[in-house]
Chains A and B, each alone.
Chain A
Amino acid sequence: MTSPLQQKIKITGPSIVTANRTWDGAVIYRTAAHGWSIDLAHAAVVRTADEARALLAESVADDVGAVGPYIAPVELKESGRIEPGNLREHIRLQGVTIELPVPA
């Protein structure tokens, strides 16, 4: 399997690195403090391929804490809020778009 670091990195706008937490699979985001957060607001935002590669490299290095890190697009609102850049990431952040059979 090709390592994410061996793949060509191409970004077209602000991006973050996201993964799933190893022990429970929760969605997590790489922070500027070289850790992980479940809050997208804490994600480190990169704007160039080199920055993205570096952020991904340190994320991949943390194989114990996170599974399958990858670069995902985000939108930066005027307020500074970070929002997911596509439907998949919206669903990962906000949960399923349907009502669960048993309310949480």
Chain B
Amino acid sequence: MIPGGIVTSPSNEANREPAQSSTTRMSAERVTLTVNGQRHQLEVAPWTTLLDLLRETLALTGTKKGCDHGQCGACTVLVDGVRINSCLTLAVMRDGAEVTTIEGVADEGGLHPLQRAFIERDAFQCGYCTPGQICSALGLIRENRAKSADDLRELMSGNLCRCGAYPNILAALGDVMGIDTEAQAAAPKDAAP
């Protein structure tokens, strides 16, 4: 684990910014984050996203940068138990929060049931979206709103998979949540309600 230090330009994005003179330089902010159970005290430039902090400062590269605009879900992590897009989250705003990334999902007992289900169901090809898919599914289970395969599809729509492994991702979630995802697909529903 890399200890927290002064972080002025943690990301490629920040590196592209023009250097500013010391008189106009914006100050780093002190932030405490507990990531996968480990407490970190960091100094963070305010424009650092949580995603860049995790990957560049804490070297937790399991969380992926896909679109960097909240459209693909590859950067999904849990903050205080709630799934969010870490690419659209400024780290400084999450001072005091508990963050769970894919690196914190397994425990000493081995892989999390979701991780095992992804392997058993072959729920990935390239694997790039998988950490986000699993963190998103963890959040979804906690939200306790999905009761059917259609619900799972809808509530996982924020996680794209360019390999198109959706049927197997759905099956893996269904296995863990006790939802039958392989029954005959329902006829298209008319719009709500």
A binds B: no
Which A residues form the contact surface with B (CB < 8 A)?
none
Which B residues form the contact surface with A (CB < 8 A)?
none
